[in-house]
């Protein structure tokens, strides 16, 4: 076998294996990228506040990812928890006295397949002022 022929075979095998390596690795999630969003809606007629949030696995694999979400507030007026696939949302409504308060969201996710995981945290201040 000549040196030229060995070079051609070696180069060809390299490209074939590279193609399979790249195409196979793309079917798996690279790593978990967890994104949290949080919102509040204040009703100043009653003092009730709706707190809601979403946790999303923004880099899922081919199968559904696993996500979970926890919501709570600085006044310990309520909380909500949920779990699901690539994205999960939940909310709760609670009464708050006049003044500044803070809502929190914490989330985790795990990509499937591939096992990449991530977490996120966010907080948002809100003000309640019910007229007498």
CB-count burial class (<10 Å; 0-12, 13-18, 19+) for 68: middle
The ranges assigned to domains in the chain are 1-29, 34-128
pLDDT tens by residue, 91-127: 999 999 999 999 999 999 987 766 678 899 999 999 9
Cα 56 from chain centroid? 3
Pair 78, 93: CB distance under 8 Å: yes
What six digits make up the tokens of 77?
């007026």
pLDDT tens by residue, 46-84: 999 999 999 998 877 677 888 999 999 999 999 999 999
pLDDT tens by residue, 48-58: 999 999 999 88
Q: What is the rounded distance in angstroms from the CA atom of residue 96 to the CA atom of residue 127?
A: 9
10 or 91: which leads in pLDDT: 91
Contacts of 126 (CB under 8 A, 6+ apart): 40, 42, 49, 100, 101, 102, 103
| 129 φψ region: left (φ > 0), alpha (ψ -120 to 50), beta (else) | beta
Q: Specify whether domain 34-128 bears CATH 2.40.50.100.
A: no
Which pLDDT score is estimated for 65?
83
Which pLDDT score is estimated for 21?
45
């Amino acid at each position: 076998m000549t040196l030229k022929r060995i070079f051609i075979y070696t180069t060809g095998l390299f490209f074939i294996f590279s193609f399979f390596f790249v195409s196979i690795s793309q079917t798996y999630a690279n790593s978990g990228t967890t994104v949290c969003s949080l919102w509040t809606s204040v009703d100043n007629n009653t003092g009730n506040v709706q707190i809601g949030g979403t946790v999303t696995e923004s880099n899922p694999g081919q199968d559904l990812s696993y996500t979970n979400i926890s919501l709570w507030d600085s006044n310990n007026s309520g909380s909500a928890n949920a779990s699901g696939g690539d994205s999960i949302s939940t909310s709760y409504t609670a009464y708050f006295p006049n003044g500044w308060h803070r809502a929190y969201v914490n989330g985790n996710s795990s990509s499937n397949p591939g096992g990449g995981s991530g977490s996120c945290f966010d907080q948002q201040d809100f003000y309640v002022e019910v007229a007498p």
